[in-house]
Amino acid sequence: MTIWQVILSIIFPPLAVISRGCGSFLITLLLTLCGWVPGVIAALIILNKPENR
């Protein structure tokens, strides 16, 4: 997670997780529409997970 992703996840959370796939984008978008704070929290959690499992 880079500093730019953190800043972008605070400003507009769905755009920060678009590189993680469509599912992550849609979940973050729905949570952001419900409220800004849940969207930011979801984006930070998604960005904190490693890409390769």
**Which of 51, 38, 30 has the alpha carbon at shortest distance from 9?**
38
Give the helix/strand (H/E) hosting 17. none
* 8 falls within a domain: yes
* 10 falls within a domain: yes
* 21 falls within a domain: yes
For the chain, the average pLDDT equals 92
* pTM confidence score: 0.86
Residue 15 domain boundaries? 3-48
Based on its alpha-carbon atoms, the radius of gyration of the chain, rounded to whole angstroms, reads 10
* 53 falls within a domain: no
* 11 falls within a domain: yes
How many domains does the chain divide into?
1
CB atoms within 10 A of CB 17: 25
* 31 falls within a domain: yes
Structure confidence at residue 12 (pLDDT): 95
* 20 falls within a domain: yes
CA 11 – CA 30 distance, rounded (Å):
16
Structure confidence at residue 2 (pLDDT): 86
